């Protein structure tokens, strides 16, 4: 059996026990985590750890099929521009490069891995409710740690521990984000713009982006954080039918389409389809 890859010690230092809130430390041989009160959490064979209070069931996360599609689509580089803009926003700000990143609803960890590649002194933690996603995120980057957690509940993260919190196409928990950010730290949010994937909405019956999304986002965050900037990203991809199928299968659209229905709809598309990628990247800061 190959030895375990050690968890990054500085990433472990970001975590807190989901039962009592005390700091967590690595058990011998990286077998799991334990707090001073004796609450222990085993490391899964794939390398991630589950940090949930006893009996707590998080919201249903991405399925194994959705995660497989996400891995395939992102590995092909189709969202490379989104990751680049995310990295620009994470690296911006005063006080030197960020050293502690928290990716909420971070899925397979591929966006976080791209950001960490640009920040050689940083570590990161991915929190996601899907165990299938966490299994992939556990090996996404040697300076990242993957955790199964409920991002709508109290996060298993210490107060004021993170320099940056990342949220890419995922839920925003304003009060908890403010709690885990250090004073002056920043939240970076990536959300779809109204024309995101516009060419596929009609032919495939996809969900439309809510035109009121920006206002609703501000309403959930402004009581806790202060807006610090916004930037858009728009590019046009040429995707074959297989890539379109994985794009649709990896996101929320997959929950509203049957596999057979998706296959039939994609088969009606031309061999190559133009697809607009259009997102907004907004930055929020915790007042010092």
In a domain, 107, yes or no: yes
User: What pLDDT does 110 receive?
Assistant: 96
Eight-state DSSP code of residue 8: P
Closest CA to 210 of 227, 189, 185, 193: 193
- pLDDT value of residue 254: 62
13 C-beta neighbours (distance < 10 Å), count? 15
**What's residue 1's pLDDT?**
35
- How far CA 112 is from CA of 90, 127, 164, in Å, comes to 10, 11, 11
Spatial separation of the C-alpha atoms in residues 44 and 42, rounded to whole Å: 6
Evaluate whether residue 262 is within a structural domain.
yes
Q: How much helix, strand and coil, in percent to the nearest 5, is found in the chain? A: 30, 25, 40
Beta-strand pair 181-192/162-168 = parallel
Q: Where are the strands (E) in the chain, listed by range?
A: 25-26, 32-34, 40-42, 49-50, 100-104, 123-128, 144-148, 162-168, 181-192, 226-240, 272-285
CB 58 within 8 A of CB 129: yes
Task: With respect to residue 2, please indicate whether it lies within any of the assigned structural domains.
Answer: no
Domain that holds residue 208: 9-285
Instruction: Count the domains in the chain.
Output: 1
User: Mean pLDDT in each 10-residue stretch from start to end of the chain (288 residues)?
Assistant: 77 97 93 96 96 86 92 95 96 89 97 97 97 96 97 96 96 93 96 92 81 70 90 95 93 75 90 95 92
Residue 272 DSSP one-character state:
E
**pLDDT for the residue 33:** 97
Distance of CA 83 to the CA centre of its chain: 11
Q: Given this model, what pLDDT does residue 208 score?
A: 77
Residue 249: helix, strand or coil by DSSP?
Answer: helix
- 68 falls within a domain: yes
Distances (CA, A) of 32 to 25, 43, 145, 203: 9, 4, 12, 47
Nearest to 75 by CA among 237, 247, 232: 247
Query: 3 in a domain, yes or no?
Result: no
pLDDT of residue 122: 98
- 4 is a domain residue: no
Q: Is the model's pTM score more than 0.75?
A: yes
In a domain, 145, yes or no: yes
25/229 Cα distance (integer angstroms)? 36
The CATH number for 120's domain is 3.40.50.150
**Among 136, 88, 95, CA closest to 114:** 88
pLDDT number for residue 48:
97
- Residue 227 inside a domain? The answer is yes
């Amino acid at each position: 059996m190959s030895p375990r890859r050690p968890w990054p010690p500085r990433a472990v230092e970001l975590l807190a026990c989901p039962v009592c809130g005390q700091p967590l430390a690595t058990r011998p041989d990286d077998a799991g985590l334990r707090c001073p009160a004796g609450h222990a959490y085993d490391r899964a064979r794939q390398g991630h750890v589950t940090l949930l209070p006893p009996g707590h069931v998080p919201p249903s996360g991405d399925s194994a099929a959705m995660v497989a599609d996400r891995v395939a689509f992102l590995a092909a580089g189709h969202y490379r521009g989104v990751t680049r803009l995310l990295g620009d926003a994470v690296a911006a700000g005063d006080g030197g490069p960020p050293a502690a990143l928290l990716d909420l609803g971070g899925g397979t960890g591929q966006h976080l891995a791209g950001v960490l590649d640009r920040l050689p002194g940083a570590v990161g933690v991915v929190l996601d409710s899907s165990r299938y996603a966490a299994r992939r995120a556990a090996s996404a980057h040697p300076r990242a740690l993957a955790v199964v957690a409920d991002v709508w509940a109290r996060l298993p993260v210490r107060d004021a521990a993170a320099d940056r919190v990342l949220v890419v196409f995922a839920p925003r928990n304003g009060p908890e984000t403010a709690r885990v950010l250090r004073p002056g730290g920043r939240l970076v949010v990536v959300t779809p713009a109204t024309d995101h994937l516009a060419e596929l909405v009609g032919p495939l019956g996809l969900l439309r982006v809510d035109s009121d999304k920006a206002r609703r986002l501000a309403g959930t965050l402004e009581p806790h954080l202060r807006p610090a900037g916004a930037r858009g990203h728009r590019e046009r991809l040429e995707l074959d039918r297989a890539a379109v199928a994985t794009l649709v299968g990896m996101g929320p659209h997959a929950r509203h389409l049957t596999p057979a229905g998706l296959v039939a709809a994609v088969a009606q598309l031309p061999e190559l389809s133009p697809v607009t990628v259009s997102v907004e990247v907004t930055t929020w800061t915790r007042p010092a």
